[in-house]
Amino acid sequence: MEGIFFHTQVESPYGPRRLRNSGVFRYKPVSERFDVFASYAFWNPWGQVFDHWGQSIILDASSHDYFHMDILSANFVYPKKKRNKHDVLSFAPRDLGPGAGIDIVRNRHFPDQDQGKFLANQLSGDFRGIRWFEIAEEGTTYTLSRQTPEFLVSDDPFFRPLAMAFGPDGALYVADFYSPLIENTSQPKRKYGRDHLHGRIWRISYPERPLLTPPRITGQPSPVLLDLLKAYENTTRHLARRELQERDPEEVIPHLKKWTADLDSENPEFERHLLEALWLYQGLEVIESDLLHRLLKAEDHRARASATRVLRFWQNRIDNSIDLLRELVEDRHPRVRLQAVLACGFNSSDQAANVAIRATKHPMDAGMRHALDDTMDYFDRIKTVATK
């Protein structure tokens, strides 16, 4: 991620990648593909979290605004004209001070009633600490309900929480910059009080519940790691998936096929487990169209939306992808339609623009309008470039 006022050009095996005035990059270690994933006029993005369905939230630290990142991830032609739309795209409450670092509670060490809550640091202003919220989907974005008392409060004026993460033991670890000054632009660089020597890491656990036993990841057999993809904790699944993605696909794929075939279709988590398999195929750079088609027809809209996001990157190697998008852009759920609109902007068919427009036959919230506007802007600009 990078903030406003930066102009970046990165040489990659697939050519130069350019970004101006903030956005989010995406890097795939296996293929070494480096791309701009989201191009938006953030002031200072400083926090990102993925939920267990692959949906991502990103924080703009300076304004303390939250966004569903997918609504910002349309294709674009550099240099992109940007406009800050925080007033309609952010789902953050209006009375928050600058913050850095977000997360979602999903680990069995914390109480059952706290699972799924959204955590957000605030490092200056009248409040310093961690706020937390009940979070719920609403159209293409979210709504928040503030929880009281606050998760963490400090009256130390130098307390500056700027990152957090759940460890494999289930405890929450919070990085505290601990400095009299935090802002780089409002004070001279040599102003007394800039502390480059001190900082603290806080560890927050719940005494009434046992800590988790950290799973063994490195060097474990592939079948063992595949079973860890069923784990409740996001951290465990992420580490297991990363270990598998770094292995030879010819060694992993036979085990993955068996693991997928043996999944219990009666398990409430069945479709999410199938999605884990799809993500692993994607990470290994192996196209698995049968599994993709299966998940595009899933009952849970989150599975369909996540599969449509995979289709965005696979579509040029999938037969009749434009026909799939024509159906998905009129899905019964807005999050699936959102992903289909975004995928149209990456489709090489001359029908893609007309398919994306079909989304307007359905209710359009601010997130959907932004994604469609960016997608259509991409088509307009490549048409302009082609005629020059």
Q: Where are the domains of the chain?
A: 7-204, 215-282, 287-388
pLDDT of residue 190: 67
pLDDT of residue 65: 96
Contact in structure between 163 and 175 (CB atoms under 8 Å) = yes
CA distance 10 to 32: 12
Beta bridge partners of 66: 59
Contact in structure between 37 and 25 (CB atoms under 8 Å) = yes
Q: Does position 187 have pLDDT exceeding 70, yes or no? A: no
pTM: 0.94
Structure letter (DSSP) for residue 233? S
pLDDT of residue 183: 65
Q: In the CATH hierarchy, which fold is given to the domain comprising 287-388?
A: Leucine-rich Repeat Variant (1.25.10)
Residues in the chain: 388
Structure letter (DSSP) for residue 385? H
> Mean pLDDT for the chain?
94
Beta bridge partners of 268: none
Residue that wins the pLDDT comparison between 32 and 185: 32
Determine phi and psi for 241, rounding to 5 degrees.
-65, -40
Contact in structure between 93 and 144 (CB atoms under 8 Å) = yes
Q: Does position 385 have pLDDT exceeding 70, yes or no? A: no
Euclidean distance between the first and the last CA atom of the chain, given in angstroms as a whole number = 33
Contact in structure between 325 and 343 (CB atoms under 8 Å) = yes
Instruction: Give the closest residue to 85 by CA, choosing from 102, 67, 73.
Output: 67
- Structure-block tokens of residue 22: 């903030």
